[in-house]
Amino acid sequence: MDAELLEPGQRIAALTGLAPAGDVGGTLAFADGLIVDAGADARAAGRGEGAGERTAETVDATGWIALPPLADLHAHLDKGYTWTSFGQPEGSLDDAIACWIDHGENHSSDDIKAGARRHLVAALHAGVTTVRSHTNYHLGDDPLRGVRALIELRDEFAGIVDLQIVASPGSSDGPDDLGRAAVALGIDLIGGFPHLAEDPRADLERNAAFAEEFGLGMDLHTDETLDAASTGLAELAARTRHWPAGVIRSAGHCVSLSMQDAETRARTLAAVAEAGVSIITNPLTNLYLQGWQHPVATPRGIPPLREILAAGITLAAGGDNVQDPFNPLGNADMVDVASELVVAGHLTPAEAWHVSSNGGRAAFGLPPARGRVGDVADVVLVRAAHTAEALAERAPDRIVIRDGRVIAVRRRVVSSVLDLRALPTPPSAPTSEGALL
């Protein structure tokens, strides 16, 4: 069977003819939801199909590469697609926050759920099978409407897109009143914005103590500012260094790290690595929000990614905002994020895909999906010769596979008055891409 004919719902026994990429060679074999040795007994592939399921197919994937599925570790599903209805604002982080305060009370539960579902469907078609989303305690009579909407969607998308929910109180909300109700509803992690509080250290302590009380992990917006004096990342590492290894502690943004001197960066990153804190970079939104006051030599608003990786820290990435007051663009496609990690973050294409896929899975607490024997049978097929081409072309054709089953297909259809067959385009030559752990 040709990969071109694959449709959602079909099971795959093996992919053959793949262009090598990362750890994946020319063939991948699947059995029981795992990658198996392609040279082993072929009858093993496709075992365990339930009643009524299609027979697993061996698929000719010539012209495609198999890459790890993408992971968006910093989303705001409760805000998506509000840019137009909230007045089409443009400006800095402070401007976006002010707009949210002005309009958020009118953002209904139905609005939240519709925008969040639209986001998750778009992410699925883009090959994103892992999402961690923050949600505010919303203004108005029903502050937990965002929490409830996302919990309902977490159940709806179970087994297709893994969703973690982070309830993020503002400095005036106080976790003791709304937080306990949010925990009872079933949130996954405690969030917050210590750098926006009048007393950042006290706000960090409040959130950490609350997480400890309920045995939950924590994912904080951290140092989302170009002020080099903002040292919340180091404080988060110090506060959580004694936590058990399996408890999530993540820091999103960490923009001020890019403004600090080399000695401070090195000291902070060593503490972060020792404490087991993961860092989540959000290049699209931070490139947009940061630096409005610096028209010349505008700071990038991205932490030093290569230094973070060199320190042995788990680095993930997020799309952050999708067409809301914090970013009028954004489309739930982590390929755009990975591309920006190359252009603005100076990672290699293979590194950028790794950060946007297995880096996110590690920060989420999921097993790796590298295409190695024993890994979960989750991949994204992209019509490209190598990762750089996939990013450069924004991977228009993708086939998303989870547990050895096709769960989404996205294909580009183009036509013009030209006879394209008379203008052959030579395919890109495969490249050697180093394996990533």
Q: How many helices (H) and strands (E) does the chain have?
A: 13, 16
pLDDT of residue 43: 47
Single-letter code of the amino acid located at 368:
P
d(CA 249, CA 131): 16
CB 268 within 8 A of CB 231: yes
Those residues with Cβ within 8 angstroms of residue 404's Cβ, 6 or more apart along the chain or in another chain: 11, 12, 13, 30, 31, 33, 46, 56, 377
Q: Side-chain half-sphere of 244: how many Cα atoms within 13 Å?
A: 7
d(CA 319, CA 126): 12
Pick the CATH number of 70-364 from 3.30.950.10, 3.20.20.140, 3.20.20.60, 3.40.720.10: 3.20.20.140
For 291-300, letters b (16+ CB in 10 Å) and e give beeeeeeeeb
Which three-class secondary structure state does DSSP give residue 24? strand
232-240 and 262-275 helices, crossing angle to 10°: 30
Every domain range in the chain assigned CATH 2.30.40.10: 3-67+371-422
Structure tokens at 25: 């060679």
DSSP string, 327-393: BS---S-HHHHHHHHHHTT---HHHHHHHTTHHHHHHHTPPP-SS-TTSBS-EEEESSSSHHHHHHT
pLDDT of residue 48: 46
pLDDT of residue 55: 86
Nearest-5° angle of CA 152, CA 156, CA 157?
Answer: 120
Residue 14: beta bridge partners? 29, 58
Every domain range in the chain assigned CATH 3.20.20.140: 70-364
d(CA 358, CA 314): 10
pLDDT means per 10 residues, the chain with 437 residues, are 94 95 91 90 48 76 96 96 88 85 86 96 97 92 94 97 90 70 96 93 94 96 96 98 96 97 98 98 95 91 97 98 93 97 97 98 97 96 96 95 97 77 66 53
Query: Which pTM was predicted?
Result: 0.92
pLDDT of residue 173: 56
CB 351 within 8 A of CB 345: no
Class of 3-67+371-422 per CATH?
Answer: mainly beta
